[in-house]
Amino acid sequence: MAAFEAGYASALESHLRGPGEAGLDVAQDLGRRAVREGFGVLEVVVTHERVLAAAGFPREAVGETPGEAAHPALDFLLQVLVAFDAPRSNFEEVREQLGFRHRQVEQLRALTEASFKMLSTFDPDDRLLLLEEAAAVSLSGASVATAPGDQAEQELFAKLPAGAREAFGGFKAGENFARASWVIDGNLMHLLVARAPTPIGAGPVIAAWKQGDDFSDLDRALFGQLSQLGSVAVTNARLFERERDIAVVLQRSLLPIAPQSTHGLELATCYIPAHPGASVGGDWFDAFELPGERLGLVIGDVMGHDILSAAIMGQFRMAVRAYALEGHSPAGVLDRVENLCSVLVGDSYATLLHATVGAGGELRFANAGHPAPVVISPAVRANFLEGGLSVPVCIGVPAPTRPEHCAVFPSGTTLFFYTDGLIERRGSSLDTRLAALLDALGEAPGPMVGHLQAWCNEVVARLTGEGPDDDVCVLAVRLAGPKYVRGKPANPEVSGATACR
């Protein structure tokens, strides 16, 4: 401080002996030096007064004579203090710029987060709600509303504050963005409205309004981006729903209406499309009467998840049924389906299980890579039916004659066929899910006569929870017999399957 005060005294004395611009320039240099060395305004003022007193300048030199407007000493001090004000002004400007940049970053972050959040749902309405949330965050202090569909503007007006409709008036021809201002109860209101046409009809309309200051240029630009984002997100969701609905309708139309009972056999079926986040696949089941009081059963899954998979599934279903009605064995049917692969499906392949079951309890089946069925007997716990297994059809690998499995089951036995959507779940191993299947079949109340469908629905509900990751097809067949309680056989002397003759 001593060095600064000595320099200050020398410069001030020189200025008072010959006031001029050069002396004031030196004063500004001293001010900048004081700022650099960390001196405060009060310290500079005290130094100024001390220098004047030490130099013995008369009272008039300080500029305190009544009526004086200014004096060289006072001018000198003011120039020194200007150096303190300049950094403060620069700081305020920098802080304002940083605040502006920070708002920009936050607004762009909200836009980015909205894009990712919209990918988490396929529901158009949910995507619009997420768009509203993103706009409210991006346009801080503004209220936001959206409306979808051809009547979006009319629906939107019901959500806007009083006077907004009259101020807006509607979009001009060829325009998809509008702004308006109006006064309500003495308060100035501002409105932004935007829409983005889509290839499949009218896009959603989004509106934002606030009281007081108008929207900035950045706000308006971001609002337009949000409108475009909402249009693309909703359009994609609608297209997904449309394609999925077509595939579901096609797949359901290809699934048969299985008889509830025939030849002393009771049937139950269940089909559940995958949850909305997944595509429809080629799962199917079939049940049809065969000569000799037998029932033909089929369950399969064409690889792939789109409309084409559902269409290919229809070709497989008709081929299997046609060969079965010609009188071929289950293994023979699969062999003949393999020969049609190049004509039917090209590069697609399928897992497939075909079985025949008679009123006497005789079951024959051939399994082309499909999950093993389960048998639930009055006398024994639920078990998988192994055997008759070969590779999937149409994988391009020459296979010998496919094997068959045969067994005879007592009355009251239930056979449970299913596709892999019932047992596969993200985050769970296949062994865990197969064990869960046996547990569900064992824990659900036993399928009583006339109640097989309700039992089947309960088992599926236990395993799928809020919705499967993949399509689920289930086919259950109960061999006619007296009612029984799970774990207590109707005929204690009968215990499970015997070999076919």
- For residues 156 and 304, what is the distance between their CA atoms, to the nearest angstrom? 41
Amino acid identity for residue 470 in this structure:
D
Q: What is the CATH number of domain 257-499?
A: 3.60.40.10
Helix ranges (H only) for 71-123 are: 72-118
Helix ranges (H only) for 365-408 are: none
Instruction: List for the chain the helix, strand, coil content (%; round to 5).
Output: 45, 20, 35
Amino acid identity for residue 326 in this structure:
E
Give residue 11's pLDDT: 87
- For residues 130 and 7, what is the distance between their CA atoms, to the nearest angstrom? 65
Helices and strands, number each (H, E), in the chain: 13, 17
- In the structure encoding, which two tokens stand for residue 84, read together? 């303190």
- For residues 51 and 49, what is the distance between their CA atoms, to the nearest angstrom? 5
CA 329 to chain centre: 47
In the chain the first and final C-alpha atoms are separated, in Å, by 115
Give residue 280's pLDDT: 57
Find out whether 334 and 309 touch, Cβ atoms under 8 Å.
no
Closest listed residue to residue 380, CA positions, set 477, 493, 499, 496: 496
Find out whether 337 and 326 touch, Cβ atoms under 8 Å.
no
- DSSP classification of residue 446: P
- In the structure encoding, which two tokens stand for residue 275, read together? 């949850």
- For residues 87 and 36, what is the distance between their CA atoms, to the nearest angstrom? 11
Closest listed residue to residue 138, CA positions, set 112, 164, 177: 112
Helix axes 430-443, 452-464, angle to 10 degrees: 150
Amino acid identity for residue 107 in this structure:
Q
Count of C-beta atoms within a 10 Å radius of residue 158? 9
Amino acid identity for residue 264 in this structure:
G
- pLDDT tens string for the chain (501 positions)? 788 888 888 888 888 888 888 888 888 888 888 888 888 777 888 888 888 888 776 544 444 443 343 478 888 888 887 777 665 555 555 555 655 666 666 767 776 777 777 776 777 778 888 888 878 777 777 888 888 765 666 777 778 888 888 888 777 766 788 888 988 888 899 988 887 777 666 678 888 899 888 888 888 888 888 788 777 777 787 777 777 677 667 666 666 665 566 667 888 988 887 755 445 568 889 999 999 889 999 999 988 766 677 778 888 888 999 999 999 999 999 999 988 876 765 567 899 999 999 878 899 999 999 999 999 887 777 899 988 999 999 887 766 789 999 999 988 889 999 999 899 887 788 899 999 999 888 776 555 555 888 889 899 998 888 777 788 899 999 987 543 333 333 333 333 556 565
Strands annotated E in 238-395: 261-262, 265-272, 282-290, 294-302, 350-358, 362-368, 374-376, 383-384, 389-390
Give residue 96's pLDDT: 59
| Domain 119-247, classified CATH 3.40.470.10, yes or no | no
What is the torsion angle, in degrees rounded to the nearest 10, for the CA atoms of residue 102, residue 103, residue 104 and residue 110? 110
Give residue 221's pLDDT: 82
- For residues 448 and 454, what is the distance between their CA atoms, to the nearest angstrom? 10
- For residues 352 and 333, what is the distance between their CA atoms, to the nearest angstrom? 11
Count of C-beta atoms within a 10 Å radius of residue 50? 13
Residues present in the chain in total: 501
